[in-house]
Amino acid sequence: MSLTRPTSQLPSAFRLVRQILSDTNAAQGLTTKELVKQALKIYQSENPHAAPSQSQSQAGSSTTAESSTRGKGKGKNVVAMTKKDKGVNVIPEGHPFVSTSHLKSQILARLQSQSLLLKLPLRPSTSSSPSSSGGKPTFVWRLNNPKQSNLTTPQWNYPGHWDSLISGEKTPGELYYEYNANKAARSEEEKQRGLDGGKVLRTEKEIWAWEGRVDGLTTNLERGHLNRRRRDGRPAKERRNLQGYEGLLGGAEVEGLEKQVA
């Protein structure tokens, strides 16, 4: 079976993921296995004459070897458990998911990187035994509906993002670039709001490049060459010197700057 993915399969895979996770029964999220199971049901209902998967076609012909070993100190033979063949693809040929590995690395990973999906740890139920999962964490996939703050930078259109992926209007790479550009612009505006409101402190380099910086106040790095006594007393000395220019500089402006450079 060839695992080569046609170009047209990726938008179909995105559509199928969105369709499955949009169902009300998937509100709490689905594991990768559950996602594959639902996808196979949909595919078989839409393609009743499709070829069976590799695992189904080999179910009747494949045989597994059983080995008998003598248990130590028990005086009887212990028959090993029969294991299924590894590496068998459960996805039928022609399915948009191609394979479970392809689904994880090429489809779900891309949707997660563009904030369209969330990968969350599954909370174990109280009725399940602790050893049922073997200690391995289980994750579920869920549609992401992020809340965006009210900024002048336009909000990212997530439904339109989905539509562009599904229609093939834009490639995942193009949308990833545009999404990250919008995300960076909104983050920069949020940071600037925090700086202007005094909720976020500027770094040393940001203070040096700040056009609104008042002459006469130094930063910690600029006072680094002084000994400890002078370094500790320099901020108070600088503020006393600025008090002589109260007619030119407002007290509120000096006080606000002091919090950022002291």
Give the per-residue pLDDT at 94.
84
- The yes-or-no verdict on residue 3 having pLDDT over 50 is no
pLDDT at 8: 61
192 vs 70, higher pLDDT: 192
The whole-number pLDDT of residue 232 equals 85
- Please state, in angstroms and as integers, the Cα–Cα distance from residue 206 to each residue in 101, 191, 201, 245, 254, following that order: 45, 12, 9, 25, 17
Q: Which residue has the tokens 């028959």?
A: 79
Chain-centroid distance, C-alpha 200: 25
Burial 214-239 (b: 16+ CB within 10 A, else e): beebbbeeebeeeeeeeeeebbeebb
The answer to whether the CB of 254 falls within 8 A of the CB of 214 is yes
What is the pLDDT of the chain when averaged over all its residues? 75
Q: What is the mean pLDDT of residues 117-123?
A: 87
Question: Are 54 and 19 spatial neighbours (Cβ–Cβ below 8 Å)?
Answer: no
Q: Of the given ranges (17-21, 35-39, 88-92, 112-116), which has the lowest mean pLDDT?
A: 88-92
The pLDDT of residue 246: 60
Instruction: Give the N- to C-terminal CA distance of the chain in Å, as an integer.
Output: 68
pLDDT tens digits, one per residue of 194-253? 877 777 777 777 776 676 776 777 777 778 888 888 888 888 887 887 777 665 555 555
At residue 126, the pLDDT reads 43
Q: Is the pLDDT reported for residue 139 higher than 70?
A: yes
Task: Tell me what pLDDT residue 50 has.
Answer: 64
- Other Cβ atoms less than 10 A from the Cβ of 70: the count is 10
